[in-house]
């Protein structure tokens, strides 16, 4: 079991990762419960699914989306789609609480006027992971990715602009926010396999919100 650690008990702090990238520890700590309730509502309308990669591999992370478009993967490739392929209907709207948090976090990192089109919602259970990758399916190559961690802690992998660059291991707690854009927009990143644990709000899971400016 992963020992529990409550980042809500610590004052928020800023940890620069490199130019254009910052880890805002505890930035969303006061909003975790509200955000999780909104995730439950979204998942009722657009249930989490394990998507298949273009290579035919089923992802260990389960995903859903809210916003004008949602990120999807299938045998045909990766794309942003205005419709949920599972239902043929639009994705749930982005809740005001999501937009507000994303814009405040982006501004804190130096990116003002952030207006994301999409929020990918990832759900991890023990063993689920995300291999090192760049987020490059968005037309906007400057606006930041804003990533919000909820529930169980995890090790976030922070690499460089080339896949072979050294990788830092950053422990992310519930309420931590990572923002990367501008010169750091195409840094390789990923998530190490989630360890067993129990969080008072998410049980055996970690939920991550990643906001993207697609158009």
**Residue 127 CB, nearest approach to ligand SIN (Å):** 14
Given 122, 123, 180, 199, the residue binding ligand SIN (CB under 6 A): 122
Q: Look at residue 24 and give the partner it binds from ligand SIN, Fe ion, none, a contact being a CB closer than 5 to 8 Å depending on partner kind.
A: none
Q: Look at residue 152 and give the partner it binds from Fe ion, ligand SIN, none, a contact being a CB closer than 5 to 8 Å depending on partner kind.
A: none
Rg (CA), the chain: 16
User: Does 147 interact with ligand SIN (rule: CB under 6 A)?
Assistant: yes
Given 123, 185, 189, 213, the residue binding ligand SIN (CB under 6 A): 189
Given 31, 74, 81, 135, the residue binding Fe ion (CB under 5 A): 135
**Residue 44 CB, nearest approach to Fe ion (Å):** 25
**Residue 193 CB, nearest approach to ligand SIN (Å):** 12
Question: Which residues are within 8 A (CB) of 120 and not within 5 positions of it... i.e. 6 or more apart?
Answer: 63, 65, 70, 71, 209, 210, 212
**Residue 140 CB, nearest approach to Fe ion (Å):** 15
**Residue 183 CB, nearest approach to ligand SIN (Å):** 18
User: Does 7 interact with ligand SIN (rule: CB under 6 A)?
Assistant: no
List residues binding ligand SIN (CB under 6 A).
120, 122, 130, 147, 156, 189, 191, 208, 210
């Amino acid at each position: 079991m992963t020992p529990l650690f409550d980042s809500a008990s610590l004052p928020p702090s800023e940890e620069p990762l490199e130019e254009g990238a910052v880890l805002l520890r505890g930035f969303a700590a006061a909003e975790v419960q509200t955000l999780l309730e909104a995730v439950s509502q979204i998942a009722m309308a657009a249930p989490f699914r394990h998507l298949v990669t273009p290579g035919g591999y089923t992802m260990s992370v389960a995903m859903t989306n809210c916003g004008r478009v949602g990120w999807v993967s299938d045998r045909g490739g990766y794309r942003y789609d205005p419709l949920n392929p599972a239902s043929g209907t639009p994705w749930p709207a982005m809740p005001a609480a999501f937009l507000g948090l994303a814009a405040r976090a982006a501004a804190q990192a130096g990116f003002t006027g952030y207006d994301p089109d999409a929020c990918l919602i990832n759900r991890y259970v023990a063993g689920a992971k995300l291999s090192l990758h760049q987020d490059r399916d968005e037309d906007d190559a400057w606006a930041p990715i804003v990533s919000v961690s909820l529930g169980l802690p995890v090790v976030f992998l922070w690499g460089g602009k080339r896949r072979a660059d050294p990788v830092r291991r950053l422990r992310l707690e519930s309420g931590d926010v990572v923002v990367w854009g501008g010169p750091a927009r195409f840094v390789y990143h990923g998530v190490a396999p989630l360890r067993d644990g129990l969080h008072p709000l998410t049980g055996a899971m970690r939920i991550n919100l990643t906001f993207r400016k697609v158009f």
